[in-house]
Every structure is written in C-alpha cells, then in structure tokens.
C-alpha cells in the first residue's frame, strides 16, 4: 500500500490520503496526474476527475454520494459539497463463487475451552445474576456486594487495597511500625489466584432499565436476549430475580431458553420477590443458591476444542477514515479464515450495511435468507425515515471529522469486517447462531447495543475495530479492540489490544494482519485476558427495537 495515498477500487473516482497532503502536490494516477487544488487532511478523500452537480461519487467500488456543488479534480469531498447516496437493491441473488483463503496455518489448531452439554464451547466460565425488571436492580446490587469481593471477583483496574488488613492490625494492638510494614496492595493477578472458585471467571450482574412499562414487544425481546446470555457457551448458570407483576415474566424467559436449547441442563435458580416472606429471606436464598451454583460451575475445567467452535462477533465503533482501509478488511480476512475452517463469524449493525445490500444479497446461500435480509433492511430504513432520521444521518461528528462524510462511505468500509465469504444465515435480533460460516445479525449501529446483541445470539469472542478509540466491553464475551491507526494504538494502549495501523504504513498486508488477528483471537479463547476485561468493562444495553443508528 502506498504510504501517502490509496485508491481502493478501480471504479473509485476518489482517493484516500494516508498522510497530510499539501496543495500543489502532484499525484500520479493511472496514465494521468492529479494536482491537488487544496490541502488534504489525512484520512480524507479527494477527486480524480472534475465532478458536476449531481454526479455520482464512488469508493470501495460502490456509490457513496453525489456532488452538491461542482468539485474540481484534486479537491477534497466534504459535507458541504457532497451528499449521501446509495445504490438500490433487489431481492434476487446472483450466482456467487467464493475462493476461500489459504487456511493451512490454522488446520488442526485448538484452544482450551469450557465444553457445554449442547456441544458448544465457552471461552470463559461465568455465573449470571439477572433481574427480569429494573425494580430488582437494588437486590442485584445487594447480591453483588455480598459475593464479588468475598469470592475474589471484585472489579479493579490494576490493583486492590486491602484496608481490612490494617483494621485487623489495629484491633490486635499493632504498633505504628507494624501497621506501616503490613502489605495491603494486591494486583489483579494475585487476586485471581486467591479466588475461592478458580475455574469460574466471574459473577456478572446484568442490570438494565427494562422488563416493565413500554410495549410488550420490548419485554419479549428482553426475555429472548437474557435467554441468549444464559445459553451462551461462556455461561455456566444463572440466578434470576423477578418482582412478580412485571411484563417480563419468568415463564417467558423459560420458554425463550427452551426455544434455544430444549435440553438445557444449566443450573438456573428463579426467585420471585412478591412470593418471598421478606427481602432478607429473598437475598439469603439467592446468596446460598448462587454459592451452590458456583461450586458446580467450578468443577468444569478447560479442555481442547477445535477453533471451529469460535463464534466471533464482528463489531466497530468510533470509526475513522482508515477503518475501512486497515482494521475492517483485516478483520474481514480473519473472518474469512474462520469461516473456511468451519467457525462462525457474525456481522451485525444493519444501518451500517446501507449501500452494500446487493453484494450481501448476492452472497446469501439461500433465496430465503436473501429475502429476509432485504426485508429487514427495508423495514429498518423505513422506520428510520418515519421518525425523521434516515440512514444518511448515521455518521457521527467524530466520523465526519476523521473522513467518513456519508453513511454509504461509512457502511462500505464497515461491511469489510464481514470479509468475502458466503452468508450462511440471516438472523433477526436475539435469534441464535446455529450455522457455521458467516452469519448476519440484525442489530442497531449503536456500539454497545450491538455488542450486547452479539453475545446474546451466542458469540463467545468479539473483535471491535475503532479509529477514534472506545472502552466498550461485554459482561460475558471477551472484546478485543483493533485500532485502524498506530497513533491511536500508542495513545490509548491501555484499552487497545491490536494495531492494524501497520497496514497503512506498509509493514503488514491485509492478509498478514488478518492472520495476526486470528492468532490473537485463539489466544483469548484460550484464556488470555483482553484489555476490556482488565478494565472491567461490562457494558450491557438491550435494544428496545426503536430507531438506533
């Protein structure tokens, strides 16, 4: 890749600046030359030809906008001179032929995971504590206070302070010198070694603001999502709190669990507060049953599993002008490798597939899935327009500042996370991932809502690409952050796991970076801790099916 500019596709009539380019710079282009008529910021794009008002603008080989003003050859495209435009699509899928990548480096590879009775394999082993309604959030807090620290699961960034040790010294009549010599600092690693249940990675408390009020469909979707978390391979069992009168009833959750796993053998303990004699007895019962559940969960140990058991969530957020050039296509290559091996990569964020629908429809293995995807996209788009916020409103101020000026441009780059493989199945929100190969999952573009949904549909690892930086994580699925540029990786190294900026500088190719990403995924599946886990980033936001771009 050039170190100063790149044209992604032969059809493109704009070029991306990989570095700051000054006015007057001469850019060789095919048999021609382009003289820049203004300074071009890094990550932004300039035209290869003169464009009249209304002329189409292409990047990644797809329509991403139209000129609102005359644009000179060598001039930057901006929100002032360019408006969003995307290609239409139809439901018929064309014949698609895929050439899988060379997977020889990964043949026979395994990771040590937690084998579940349904045949899935977890990369982590968690116990969940879940309220069916926001009315139970306080009880969740009480249970967390009673269990987390005492069992060694307190969330700390780098170290913990043991004030209890000083209290014990004081009560024992220790001198000032003895108190000063008392060790009270423990690292996360030391705390983990002191856990009562070393084979249980943690207890996760999924507080939320749903379950009652709103519309009935919100509570149904919430029960489906929570059932997805309980049946996720990274979960051993759960303690469920119900008030009793809310919309999200226990029987709804039980039915949702049965739909996903008719023979579910996981330990799930249900408590209904309005049937309990007192709050004290409710908490006492919850603590005791959770403790017994942890004893059983601790009996499970990591054992070898083929990497085809990895269900990989593909996510992005805080994208920049390099995301679709380095991080996303590199993750797409890792996705193709995993799909070719028999694993299940999962592409989400349907608002960020605007403009590439036909390509995805053509990749669907069945007409049924092609039609389902088309209907979901049209319904989402129509609902967004109905509330005055169409897909063209998707790019955030941060996206625009860093070179993503139309939704179609952002979408074409975001879709690169899904690689080039055939689409094995199209799923609506909360539907369970059941087929190997690339899956499409309908989620909003909101980063946390989408990541929450990926884990709810069965992902046991997530890779999250970013160009601007984000601390997002998930309670049960380890989330790996992949930066699109080296500046971000160096600046936010405490939250970024992998740097794809080396693709921009030419140190890596898309292919070598994709292989590096898959190697990192395997290490995390094997138990290596991600930066989001170190930070205790347990973001959990259910989607209420409103318009969320």
Overall average pLDDT of the 535-544 stretch: 94
> Per residue in 362-404, pLDDT tens?
999 999 999 999 999 999 888 888 887 777 666 778 888 877 8
152 or 527, higher pLDDT:
527
Q: Which of 81-95, 130-144, 387-401, 491-505 shows the lowest mean pLDDT across its residues? A: 387-401
pLDDT at 155 over 70: no
- pLDDT value of position 548: 58
CB atoms within 10 A of CB 72: 16
Mean pLDDT for all residues in the chain: 93
- pLDDT value of position 387: 80
Overall average pLDDT of the 312-326 stretch: 95
CATH code: domain 126-153+195-299 is 3.40.50
Tell the burial category of 269 from Cβ atoms under 10 Å away from its Cβ (0-12, 13-18, 19+).
Answer: middle
Contact between 332 and 316 under an 8 Å Cβ cutoff? The reply is no
pLDDT at 549 over 60: no
pLDDT at 279 over 70: yes
CB atoms within 10 A of CB 139: 19
Domain boundaries, the chain: 5-84, 126-153+195-299, 304-343+367-534
Distance CA 293, CA 127 (A): 8
- pLDDT value of position 344: 98
- pLDDT value of position 388: 78
Overall average pLDDT of the 254-274 stretch: 97
Distance CA 524, CA 123 (A): 8
The DSSP secondary structure of 433-473, one letter per residue, reads P-SSSEEEE---S-HHHHHHHHHHTT-SEEEEEESS-----
At residue 232, φ and ψ (nearest 5 deg) are -60, 140
- pLDDT value of position 163: 85
Name the residue among 418, 510, 413, 485 with its Cα closest to residue 14.
413
At residue 199, φ and ψ (nearest 5 deg) are -90, 0
pLDDT at 88 over 90: no
The DSSP secondary structure of 341-353, one letter per residue, reads HT-EEEE--GGGG
Helix runs in 194-326, H state only: 216-231, 250-260, 279-297
What percent of the chain clears pLDDT 90, i.e. is strictly above it?
80
> Per residue in 173-229, pLDDT tens?
999 888 888 888 776 666 666 789 999 999 999 999 999 988 889 999 999 999 999
Q: Which of 23-32, 183-192, 315-324, 449-458 shows the lowest mean pLDDT across its residues? A: 183-192
pLDDT at 28 over 70: yes
CATH code: domain 5-84 is 2.30.130.110
> Per residue in 424-463, pLDDT tens?
999 999 999 999 999 999 999 999 999 999 999 999 999 9
Contact between 407 and 355 under an 8 Å Cβ cutoff? The reply is yes
- pLDDT value of position 47: 96
Distance CA 170, CA 176 (A): 9
pLDDT at 508 over 90: yes
Rg (the chain; Cα; Å): 25
pTM for this entry: 0.91
- Cα 531–Cα 536–Cα 541 angle in degrees, nearest 5: 105
């Amino acid at each position: 890749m050039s170190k100063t500019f790149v044209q992604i596709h032969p059809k493109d009539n704009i070029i991306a600046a990989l570095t700051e380019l000054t006015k007057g710079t001469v850019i060789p282009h095919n048999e021609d030359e382009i003289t820049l008529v203004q300074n071009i910021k890094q990550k932004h794009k300039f035209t290869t030809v003169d464009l009249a008002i209304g002329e189409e603008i292409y990047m990644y080989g797809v329509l991403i906008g139209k000129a609102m003003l005359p644009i000179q050859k060598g001039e930057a495209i901006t929100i002032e001179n360019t408006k969003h435009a995307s290609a239409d699509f139809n439901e018929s899928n064309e014949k698609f032929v895929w050439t899988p990548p060379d997977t020889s480096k990964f043949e026979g590879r395994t990771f040590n995971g937690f084998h579940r009775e349904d045949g899935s394999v977890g990369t982590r082993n968690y116990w969940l504590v879940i309220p069916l309604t926001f009315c139970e959030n306080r009880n969740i807090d009480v249970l967390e206070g009673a269990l987390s620290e005492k069992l060694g699961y307190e969330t700390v960034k780098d170290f913990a302070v043991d004030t209890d040790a000083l209290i014990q010294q004081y009560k024992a009549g220790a001198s000032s010198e003895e108190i000063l010599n008392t060790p009270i600092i423990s690292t996360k690693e030391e705390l983990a070694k002191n856990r009562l249940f070393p084979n249980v990675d943690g207890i996760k408390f999924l507080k939320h603001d749903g379950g009652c009020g709103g519309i009935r469909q919100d509570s149904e979707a919430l029960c489906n999502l929570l059932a997805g978390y309980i049946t996720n391979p990274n979960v051993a069992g759960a303690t469920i709190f119900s008030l009793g009168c809310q919309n999200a009833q226990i029987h709804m959750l039980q039915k949702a669990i049965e739909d996903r796993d008719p023979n579910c053998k996981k330990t799930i303990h249900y408590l209904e507060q309005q049937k309990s004699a007192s709050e004290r007895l409710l908490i006492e019962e919850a603590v005791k049953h959770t403790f017994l559940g942890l004893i059983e969960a601790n009996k499970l140990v990591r054992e070898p599993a083929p990497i085809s058991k990895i269900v990989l969530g593909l996510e992005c957020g805080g994208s920049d002008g390099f995301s679709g050039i380095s991080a996303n296509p590199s993750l797409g290559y890792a996705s193709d490798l995993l799909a070719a091996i028999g694993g299940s990569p999962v592409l989400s964020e349907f608002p960020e597939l605007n403009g590439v629908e036909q390509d995805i429809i053509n990749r669907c293995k069945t007409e049924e899935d092609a039609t389902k995807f088309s209907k979901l996209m049209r319904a989402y788009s129509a609902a967004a327009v109905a509330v005055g916020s169409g897909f063209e409103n998707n790019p955030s101020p941060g996206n625009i500042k860093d070179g993503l000026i139309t939704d179609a441009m952002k979408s074409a780059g975001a879709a690169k996370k899904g690689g080039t493989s055939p689409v094995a199945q199209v799923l609506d929100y909360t539907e369970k991932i059941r087929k190997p190969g690339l899956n499409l999952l309908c989620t909003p573009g909101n980063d946390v809502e989408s990541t929450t949904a990926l884990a709810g549909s069965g992902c046991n690892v997530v890779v999250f690409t970013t160009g601007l930086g984000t601390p997002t994580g998930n309670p049960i699925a380890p989330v790996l952050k992949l930066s699109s540029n080296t500046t971000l990786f160096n600046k936010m190294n405490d939250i970024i796991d992998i740097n794809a900026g080396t693709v921009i500088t030419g140190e890596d190719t898309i292919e070598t970076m994709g292989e590096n990403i898959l190697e990192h995924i395997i290490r995390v599946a094997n138990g290596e801790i991600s930066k989001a886990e170190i930070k205790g980033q347990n973001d959990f936001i259910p989607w209420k099916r409103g318009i969320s771009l």
